[in-house]
Amino acid sequence: MPIALVTGATGFVGAHLIPALQGAGWTVRAAVRSSAGVVLPEGVDRVAVGDLAQAPDLRDALAGIDVVIHLAGRAHVVRETAADVDRIFGRVNVAATRHLADQAAVAGVRRFVLLSSVKVNGERTGDRPFTEADVPAPEDAYGRSKQEAEQALRAVGAATGLAVAIVRPPLVYGPGVKANFLRLLRLVDRGVPLPLGSVRNQRSLIGVWNLCDLIVACATHPAAAGETFLASDQRDLSTPELIRLIGHALGRPARLFPFPVTALRQAGRLAGQGDAVERLVGSLQVDSTKATRLLGWQPVVGVEEGLRRTGEWYLRSIGQVR
Protein backbone atom coordinates (compact mmCIF):
# COMPACT_ATOMS: atom_id res chain seq x y z
CA MET A 1 0.00 0.00 0.00
CA PRO A 2 1.59 3.34 -1.03
CA ILE A 3 2.17 6.00 1.62
CA ALA A 4 1.60 9.72 1.12
CA LEU A 5 2.91 12.51 3.33
CA VAL A 6 0.41 15.39 3.29
CA THR A 7 1.21 18.87 4.55
CA GLY A 8 -1.69 21.19 5.31
CA ALA A 9 -3.72 18.10 6.20
CA THR A 10 -5.97 19.96 8.64
CA GLY A 11 -6.87 22.73 6.17
CA PHE A 12 -9.85 23.06 3.86
CA VAL A 13 -8.41 21.00 0.98
CA GLY A 14 -6.53 18.63 3.26
CA ALA A 15 -9.68 17.64 5.12
CA HIS A 16 -11.16 16.42 1.83
CA LEU A 17 -7.94 15.03 0.34
CA ILE A 18 -7.23 12.59 3.16
CA PRO A 19 -10.42 10.53 2.70
CA ALA A 20 -9.93 10.70 -1.08
CA LEU A 21 -6.46 9.20 -0.71
CA GLN A 22 -7.68 6.57 1.73
CA GLY A 23 -10.49 5.66 -0.63
CA ALA A 24 -7.92 5.19 -3.39
CA GLY A 25 -5.95 2.74 -1.25
CA TRP A 26 -3.30 5.05 0.19
CA THR A 27 -1.91 5.15 3.69
CA VAL A 28 -1.70 8.78 4.83
CA ARG A 29 0.82 10.44 7.12
CA ALA A 30 -0.03 14.02 8.08
CA ALA A 31 2.81 16.47 8.63
CA VAL A 32 1.63 19.04 11.20
CA ARG A 33 3.37 21.90 12.98
CA SER A 34 2.40 20.51 16.38
CA SER A 35 0.28 17.51 17.27
CA ALA A 36 -1.43 19.38 20.11
CA GLY A 37 -5.15 19.71 19.46
CA VAL A 38 -4.95 18.19 15.98
CA VAL A 39 -7.90 15.99 15.00
CA LEU A 40 -7.42 13.72 12.00
CA PRO A 41 -9.50 10.94 10.42
CA GLU A 42 -9.10 7.41 11.72
CA GLY A 43 -6.12 5.57 10.34
CA VAL A 44 -4.04 8.69 9.64
CA ASP A 45 -0.56 8.76 11.11
CA ARG A 46 0.73 12.15 12.25
CA VAL A 47 4.16 13.60 12.65
CA ALA A 48 5.01 17.00 14.13
CA VAL A 49 7.56 18.78 11.93
CA GLY A 50 7.46 22.34 13.25
CA ASP A 51 7.95 25.24 10.86
CA LEU A 52 9.10 23.95 7.46
CA ALA A 53 10.61 27.35 6.66
CA GLN A 54 13.02 26.83 9.58
CA ALA A 55 14.52 23.82 7.75
CA PRO A 56 13.73 21.11 10.32
CA ASP A 57 15.12 17.60 10.03
CA LEU A 58 12.43 15.63 8.18
CA ARG A 59 14.07 12.22 8.00
CA ASP A 60 11.56 10.57 10.32
CA ALA A 61 8.59 12.24 8.65
CA LEU A 62 9.72 11.13 5.18
CA ALA A 63 10.84 7.60 6.04
CA GLY A 64 9.02 5.13 3.77
CA ILE A 65 7.07 7.84 1.95
CA ASP A 66 6.24 7.30 -1.72
CA VAL A 67 4.66 10.66 -2.55
CA VAL A 68 4.68 14.06 -0.84
CA ILE A 69 1.58 16.22 -1.37
CA HIS A 70 2.34 19.77 -0.31
CA LEU A 71 -0.81 21.75 0.47
CA ALA A 72 0.51 23.92 3.29
CA GLY A 73 1.21 27.58 2.63
CA ARG A 74 0.08 31.09 3.33
CA ALA A 75 -2.61 32.78 1.30
CA HIS A 76 -3.25 36.03 3.18
CA VAL A 77 -1.17 38.57 5.08
CA VAL A 78 -3.07 41.11 7.18
CA ARG A 79 -1.85 44.60 8.07
CA GLU A 80 1.69 44.22 6.80
CA THR A 81 3.79 46.54 4.64
CA ALA A 82 4.47 45.60 1.02
CA ALA A 83 8.06 44.62 1.82
CA ASP A 84 6.90 42.43 4.69
CA VAL A 85 4.31 40.74 2.48
CA ASP A 86 6.91 39.60 -0.05
CA ARG A 87 9.25 38.46 2.71
CA ILE A 88 6.57 36.49 4.54
CA PHE A 89 5.25 34.81 1.41
CA GLY A 90 8.77 34.02 0.28
CA ARG A 91 9.60 32.41 3.59
CA VAL A 92 6.41 30.38 3.98
CA ASN A 93 5.59 29.46 0.39
CA VAL A 94 9.02 29.29 -1.26
CA ALA A 95 11.66 28.40 1.33
CA ALA A 96 9.43 25.77 2.96
CA THR A 97 8.66 24.15 -0.40
CA ARG A 98 12.34 24.07 -1.37
CA HIS A 99 13.38 22.53 1.94
CA LEU A 100 10.64 19.89 1.87
CA ALA A 101 11.54 18.95 -1.72
CA ASP A 102 15.25 18.75 -0.91
CA GLN A 103 14.58 16.48 2.05
CA ALA A 104 12.13 14.37 0.05
CA ALA A 105 14.72 13.78 -2.66
CA VAL A 106 17.33 12.72 -0.11
CA ALA A 107 14.81 10.34 1.49
CA GLY A 108 14.10 8.62 -1.82
CA VAL A 109 10.54 9.90 -2.29
CA ARG A 110 9.34 9.13 -5.81
CA ARG A 111 7.06 12.08 -6.47
CA PHE A 112 6.18 15.51 -5.13
CA VAL A 113 2.78 17.12 -5.85
CA LEU A 114 2.49 20.86 -5.20
CA LEU A 115 -0.80 22.70 -4.82
CA SER A 116 -0.11 26.03 -6.48
CA SER A 117 -2.57 28.66 -7.76
CA VAL A 118 -4.01 30.10 -10.95
CA LYS A 119 -2.60 33.40 -9.67
CA VAL A 120 0.71 32.27 -11.18
CA ASN A 121 -0.93 32.80 -14.58
CA GLY A 122 -2.50 36.11 -13.62
CA GLU A 123 -5.63 37.73 -12.27
CA ARG A 124 -7.89 38.02 -15.31
CA THR A 125 -8.49 36.66 -18.79
CA GLY A 126 -9.68 38.30 -21.98
CA ASP A 127 -10.82 36.49 -25.10
CA ARG A 128 -9.45 33.06 -24.13
CA PRO A 129 -8.82 31.00 -20.99
CA PHE A 130 -5.44 30.56 -19.38
CA THR A 131 -3.46 27.48 -20.37
CA GLU A 132 -0.38 25.86 -18.91
CA ALA A 133 1.65 27.14 -21.86
CA ASP A 134 1.03 30.80 -21.03
CA VAL A 135 3.89 32.89 -19.69
CA PRO A 136 3.33 33.38 -15.94
CA ALA A 137 2.16 36.88 -15.01
CA PRO A 138 1.47 36.98 -11.25
CA GLU A 139 0.34 40.37 -9.98
CA ASP A 140 0.61 40.10 -6.20
CA ALA A 141 2.98 38.75 -3.59
CA TYR A 142 1.04 35.53 -3.16
CA GLY A 143 1.07 34.78 -6.89
CA ARG A 144 4.76 35.61 -7.13
CA SER A 145 5.56 33.32 -4.21
CA LYS A 146 3.66 30.46 -5.81
CA GLN A 147 5.55 30.94 -9.08
CA GLU A 148 8.84 30.96 -7.18
CA ALA A 149 7.81 27.84 -5.25
CA GLU A 150 7.11 26.10 -8.56
CA GLN A 151 10.50 27.15 -9.89
CA ALA A 152 12.26 25.96 -6.74
CA LEU A 153 10.49 22.60 -6.91
CA ARG A 154 11.35 22.10 -10.58
CA ALA A 155 15.00 22.95 -9.84
CA VAL A 156 15.13 20.29 -7.13
CA GLY A 157 13.50 17.81 -9.47
CA ALA A 158 15.96 18.55 -12.27
CA ALA A 159 18.94 18.20 -9.92
CA THR A 160 17.82 15.04 -8.10
CA GLY A 161 15.39 13.14 -10.32
CA LEU A 162 12.46 13.76 -7.99
CA ALA A 163 9.33 13.60 -10.15
CA VAL A 164 7.19 16.71 -9.65
CA ALA A 165 3.61 17.57 -10.54
CA ILE A 166 1.97 20.97 -10.03
CA VAL A 167 -1.73 21.83 -9.83
CA ARG A 168 -2.98 25.40 -10.27
CA PRO A 169 -6.65 25.70 -9.25
CA PRO A 170 -8.85 28.78 -9.46
CA LEU A 171 -11.39 29.48 -6.69
CA VAL A 172 -12.06 26.29 -4.71
CA TYR A 173 -15.42 25.76 -3.03
CA GLY A 174 -17.02 23.04 -0.93
CA PRO A 175 -17.87 22.24 2.70
CA GLY A 176 -15.48 24.10 4.98
CA VAL A 177 -14.80 26.89 2.49
CA LYS A 178 -13.77 30.22 3.96
CA ALA A 179 -12.92 33.76 2.85
CA ASN A 180 -14.73 35.29 -0.13
CA PHE A 181 -16.91 32.32 -1.02
CA LEU A 182 -18.16 32.00 2.55
CA ARG A 183 -18.95 35.72 2.56
CA LEU A 184 -20.96 35.26 -0.63
CA LEU A 185 -22.91 32.39 0.93
CA ARG A 186 -23.78 34.63 3.88
CA LEU A 187 -24.89 37.53 1.69
CA VAL A 188 -27.20 35.34 -0.37
CA ASP A 189 -28.56 33.59 2.72
CA ARG A 190 -29.34 36.93 4.38
CA GLY A 191 -31.14 38.19 1.30
CA VAL A 192 -28.81 41.14 0.76
CA PRO A 193 -29.57 42.88 -2.57
CA LEU A 194 -26.47 42.73 -4.76
CA PRO A 195 -25.75 45.21 -7.59
CA LEU A 196 -24.40 42.52 -9.90
CA GLY A 197 -27.28 41.98 -12.29
CA SER A 198 -25.45 43.66 -15.18
CA VAL A 199 -22.25 41.59 -14.88
CA ARG A 200 -21.52 39.49 -17.97
CA ASN A 201 -18.25 37.82 -16.99
CA GLN A 202 -17.09 34.20 -17.03
CA ARG A 203 -15.16 32.60 -14.18
CA SER A 204 -13.80 29.12 -13.64
CA LEU A 205 -14.07 27.47 -10.25
CA ILE A 206 -13.50 23.98 -8.90
CA GLY A 207 -15.27 21.90 -6.29
CA VAL A 208 -12.94 20.54 -3.64
CA TRP A 209 -13.91 16.96 -4.60
CA ASN A 210 -12.75 17.54 -8.17
CA LEU A 211 -9.52 19.16 -7.02
CA CYS A 212 -8.74 16.27 -4.68
CA ASP A 213 -9.49 13.74 -7.40
CA LEU A 214 -7.00 15.48 -9.67
CA ILE A 215 -4.38 15.63 -6.91
CA VAL A 216 -4.74 11.86 -6.41
CA ALA A 217 -4.34 11.39 -10.16
CA CYS A 218 -1.18 13.52 -10.09
CA ALA A 219 0.18 11.35 -7.28
CA THR A 220 -0.37 8.12 -9.19
CA HIS A 221 -0.49 8.58 -12.96
CA PRO A 222 2.85 8.11 -14.76
CA ALA A 223 2.04 10.89 -17.24
CA ALA A 224 1.70 13.48 -14.44
CA ALA A 225 5.44 13.49 -13.71
CA GLY A 226 7.06 16.76 -14.72
CA GLU A 227 3.76 18.41 -15.63
CA THR A 228 1.70 21.41 -14.54
CA PHE A 229 -2.09 21.30 -14.65
CA LEU A 230 -4.76 23.96 -14.55
CA ALA A 231 -7.98 22.61 -13.08
CA SER A 232 -11.64 23.54 -13.03
CA ASP A 233 -15.15 22.08 -12.94
CA GLN A 234 -15.03 22.51 -16.74
CA ARG A 235 -18.15 24.67 -16.62
CA ASP A 236 -17.58 28.40 -16.30
CA LEU A 237 -20.19 30.68 -14.72
CA SER A 238 -20.98 34.37 -14.69
CA THR A 239 -21.23 35.91 -11.23
CA PRO A 240 -25.03 36.27 -11.54
CA GLU A 241 -25.29 32.59 -12.56
CA LEU A 242 -23.20 31.57 -9.57
CA ILE A 243 -25.31 33.64 -7.18
CA ARG A 244 -28.53 32.16 -8.57
CA LEU A 245 -27.17 28.63 -8.12
CA ILE A 246 -26.08 29.46 -4.57
CA GLY A 247 -29.54 30.84 -3.87
CA HIS A 248 -31.11 27.64 -5.18
CA ALA A 249 -28.79 25.56 -2.99
CA LEU A 250 -29.77 27.62 0.07
CA GLY A 251 -33.46 27.81 -0.73
CA ARG A 252 -33.18 31.58 -1.07
CA PRO A 253 -34.01 33.92 -3.96
CA ALA A 254 -31.07 35.60 -5.64
CA ARG A 255 -31.59 39.32 -5.05
CA LEU A 256 -29.76 40.88 -7.98
CA PHE A 257 -30.32 44.30 -9.46
CA PRO A 258 -28.64 45.98 -12.45
CA PHE A 259 -25.87 48.48 -11.91
CA PRO A 260 -23.22 49.71 -14.39
CA VAL A 261 -20.08 47.60 -14.15
CA THR A 262 -17.84 50.63 -14.74
CA ALA A 263 -19.45 52.35 -11.77
CA LEU A 264 -18.93 49.24 -9.65
CA ARG A 265 -15.24 49.20 -10.52
CA GLN A 266 -14.89 52.89 -9.74
CA ALA A 267 -16.68 52.52 -6.41
CA GLY A 268 -14.44 49.58 -5.55
CA ARG A 269 -11.28 51.57 -6.26
CA LEU A 270 -12.50 54.53 -4.19
CA ALA A 271 -13.29 52.21 -1.28
CA GLY A 272 -9.93 50.46 -1.50
CA GLN A 273 -11.71 47.26 -2.59
CA GLY A 274 -10.77 47.26 -6.26
CA ASP A 275 -9.40 43.70 -6.23
CA ALA A 276 -12.48 42.34 -4.45
CA VAL A 277 -14.82 44.01 -6.94
CA GLU A 278 -12.75 42.76 -9.89
CA ARG A 279 -13.17 39.19 -8.67
CA LEU A 280 -16.93 39.70 -8.92
CA VAL A 281 -17.11 41.52 -12.26
CA GLY A 282 -14.01 40.39 -14.18
CA SER A 283 -13.39 37.16 -16.05
CA LEU A 284 -10.89 34.47 -15.10
CA GLN A 285 -11.12 31.25 -17.06
CA VAL A 286 -8.81 28.25 -17.22
CA ASP A 287 -8.55 25.49 -19.79
CA SER A 288 -8.18 22.17 -17.97
CA THR A 289 -8.23 19.91 -21.02
CA LYS A 290 -4.56 19.02 -20.54
CA ALA A 291 -5.46 17.02 -17.43
CA THR A 292 -8.17 15.24 -19.41
CA ARG A 293 -5.84 14.52 -22.32
CA LEU A 294 -2.83 13.30 -20.32
CA LEU A 295 -4.45 11.76 -17.26
CA GLY A 296 -7.94 10.88 -18.45
CA TRP A 297 -9.23 13.11 -15.65
CA GLN A 298 -12.77 14.44 -15.58
CA PRO A 299 -14.60 16.30 -12.80
CA VAL A 300 -16.37 13.79 -10.56
CA VAL A 301 -18.97 16.22 -9.17
CA GLY A 302 -20.97 18.67 -11.26
CA VAL A 303 -21.39 22.33 -10.38
CA GLU A 304 -25.03 22.11 -9.24
CA GLU A 305 -24.33 19.08 -7.06
CA GLY A 306 -21.19 20.66 -5.65
CA LEU A 307 -23.01 23.85 -4.74
CA ARG A 308 -25.88 21.84 -3.27
CA ARG A 309 -23.44 20.01 -0.99
CA THR A 310 -21.79 23.30 -0.07
CA GLY A 311 -25.16 24.87 0.71
CA GLU A 312 -26.15 21.94 2.92
CA TRP A 313 -22.89 22.27 4.84
CA TYR A 314 -23.41 26.01 5.27
CA LEU A 315 -26.93 25.57 6.59
CA ARG A 316 -25.78 22.90 9.04
CA SER A 317 -22.95 25.17 10.18
CA ILE A 318 -25.41 27.91 11.15
CA GLY A 319 -27.86 25.45 12.71
CA GLN A 320 -30.48 25.60 9.97
CA VAL A 321 -32.04 22.90 7.85
CA ARG A 322 -34.40 23.75 4.98
3-state SS class at 118: helix
**Sheet harboring 27-32: ordered strands across?**
45-48, 27-32, 3-7, 67-70, 111-115, 163-168, 227-230
The upper half-sphere exposure of residue 270, i.e. CA atoms within 13 Å in the direction of its Cβ, equals 6
What is the C-alpha to C-alpha distance for residues 214 and 210, in angstroms, rounded to an integer? Answer: 6
Give start and end residues of each alpha helix (H) in the chain.
Answer: 12-23, 59-62, 82-89, 96-107, 141-160, 179-189, 208-220, 239-250, 261-270, 274-281, 289-295, 303-317
Tell how far CA 181 is from the center of its chain. Answer: 13
The catalytic residue among 142, 173, 209, 229 is 142
Q: Which residues, other chains included, contact 128 with Cβ-Cβ below 8 Å and sequence gap of 6+?
A: 285, 287
- H or E, element range at 45: strand 45-48
Please give the biggest Cα pair distance in the chain: 58
What is the C-alpha to C-alpha distance for residues 242 and 300, in angstroms, rounded to an integer? Answer: 19
Tell how far CA 314 is from the center of its chain. Answer: 19
Active site residue 142: yes
Catalytic site residues? 142
